Amino acid sequence: MHRASQLTFPCGNKYLQHKWEQAYQDHRKKVQNAKPLVDTQAPLIFSHLHLKLKKLKLEEERLSVIDRENRLLLEKMSYVMRTKGQTDNRNDYQHRR
Protein backbone atom coordinates (compact mmCIF):
# COMPACT_ATOMS: atom_id res chain seq x y z
CA MET A 1 0.00 0.00 0.00
CA HIS A 2 1.23 3.37 -0.94
CA ARG A 3 0.34 6.26 1.36
CA ALA A 4 0.52 9.83 0.17
CA SER A 5 2.13 12.38 2.49
CA GLN A 6 -0.38 14.08 4.69
CA LEU A 7 -0.42 17.80 4.11
CA THR A 8 -0.88 20.21 6.96
CA PHE A 9 -3.05 22.60 4.99
CA PRO A 10 -5.12 21.02 2.21
CA CYS A 11 -4.92 23.11 -0.92
CA GLY A 12 -5.41 22.77 -4.66
CA ASN A 13 -2.22 24.60 -5.66
CA LYS A 14 0.99 22.60 -5.05
CA TYR A 15 3.25 25.68 -5.18
CA LEU A 16 1.08 27.52 -2.67
CA GLN A 17 0.93 24.39 -0.51
CA HIS A 18 4.74 24.17 -0.54
CA LYS A 19 5.06 27.85 0.49
CA TRP A 20 2.65 27.34 3.38
CA GLU A 21 4.43 24.19 4.52
CA GLN A 22 7.79 25.97 4.37
CA ALA A 23 6.44 28.94 6.35
CA TYR A 24 4.96 26.56 8.94
CA GLN A 25 8.26 24.65 9.26
CA ASP A 26 10.13 27.95 9.72
CA HIS A 27 7.62 28.92 12.40
CA ARG A 28 8.10 25.56 14.17
CA LYS A 29 11.91 26.04 14.11
CA LYS A 30 11.53 29.51 15.64
CA VAL A 31 9.25 28.12 18.35
CA GLN A 32 11.74 25.32 19.10
CA ASN A 33 14.70 27.73 19.31
CA ALA A 34 12.88 30.45 21.27
CA LYS A 35 14.58 31.58 24.47
CA PRO A 36 12.53 32.38 27.59
CA LEU A 37 11.75 36.05 27.98
CA VAL A 38 10.74 35.97 31.64
CA ASP A 39 13.45 37.30 33.96
CA THR A 40 13.69 34.79 36.81
CA GLN A 41 16.68 36.40 38.54
CA ALA A 42 16.34 37.87 42.00
CA PRO A 43 15.67 41.61 42.05
CA LEU A 44 18.51 43.99 42.78
CA ILE A 45 19.04 44.78 46.46
CA PHE A 46 19.41 48.45 47.26
CA SER A 47 21.11 49.12 50.56
CA HIS A 48 19.15 52.32 51.26
CA LEU A 49 15.94 50.28 51.29
CA HIS A 50 17.22 47.72 53.80
CA LEU A 51 19.31 50.02 56.00
CA LYS A 52 16.72 52.33 57.52
CA LEU A 53 18.76 55.22 58.90
CA LYS A 54 15.76 57.09 60.30
CA LYS A 55 14.68 54.02 62.26
CA LEU A 56 18.22 53.55 63.61
CA LYS A 57 18.39 57.21 64.65
CA LEU A 58 15.05 57.01 66.48
CA GLU A 59 16.14 53.81 68.22
CA GLU A 60 19.40 55.43 69.31
CA GLU A 61 17.51 58.45 70.70
CA ARG A 62 15.12 56.18 72.55
CA LEU A 63 17.99 54.24 74.10
CA SER A 64 19.73 57.46 75.15
CA VAL A 65 16.54 58.62 76.91
CA ILE A 66 16.29 55.25 78.69
CA ASP A 67 19.95 55.46 79.75
CA ARG A 68 19.44 58.99 81.09
CA GLU A 69 16.35 57.95 83.08
CA ASN A 70 18.18 54.90 84.46
CA ARG A 71 21.09 57.08 85.56
CA LEU A 72 18.74 59.52 87.34
CA LEU A 73 16.95 56.64 89.04
CA LEU A 74 20.28 55.17 90.14
CA GLU A 75 21.32 58.53 91.61
CA LYS A 76 18.05 58.76 93.54
CA MET A 77 18.44 55.20 94.82
CA SER A 78 22.03 55.80 95.91
CA TYR A 79 20.92 58.99 97.72
CA VAL A 80 18.24 56.99 99.56
CA MET A 81 20.81 54.34 100.51
CA ARG A 82 23.31 56.97 101.76
CA THR A 83 20.75 58.83 103.87
CA LYS A 84 19.21 55.68 105.35
CA GLY A 85 15.95 56.15 103.48
CA GLN A 86 14.32 58.91 105.50
CA THR A 87 10.75 59.62 104.53
CA ASP A 88 9.39 63.08 103.99
CA ASN A 89 5.69 62.45 104.38
CA ARG A 90 5.09 65.03 107.11
CA ASN A 91 2.40 67.55 106.39
CA ASP A 92 3.65 70.67 108.13
CA TYR A 93 1.44 73.21 106.50
CA GLN A 94 -1.13 75.60 107.92
CA HIS A 95 -4.76 75.11 106.98
CA ARG A 96 -6.30 78.14 105.38
CA ARG A 97 -9.75 78.99 106.61
Residue ranges of domains in the chain: 14-35+47-82
> How much is the pLDDT for 64?
97
Query: Span 26-37, mean pLDDT?
Result: 92
pLDDT digits (tens, 9 = 90+) for 34-86: 988 888 888 888 888 888 999 999 999 999 999 999 999 999 999 888 887 66
Mean pLDDT for the stretch of residues 84-94: 72
Report whether 42 contacts 58 (CB < 8 A). Answer: no
CA–CA dist 62, 1 (Å, integer): 93
Radius of gyration of the chain (CA): 44
Which region holds residue 84: left if phi is over 0, alpha if psi is between -120 and 50, else beta?
left
Q: What is the pLDDT of residue 1?
A: 47
What's the pTM?
0.43
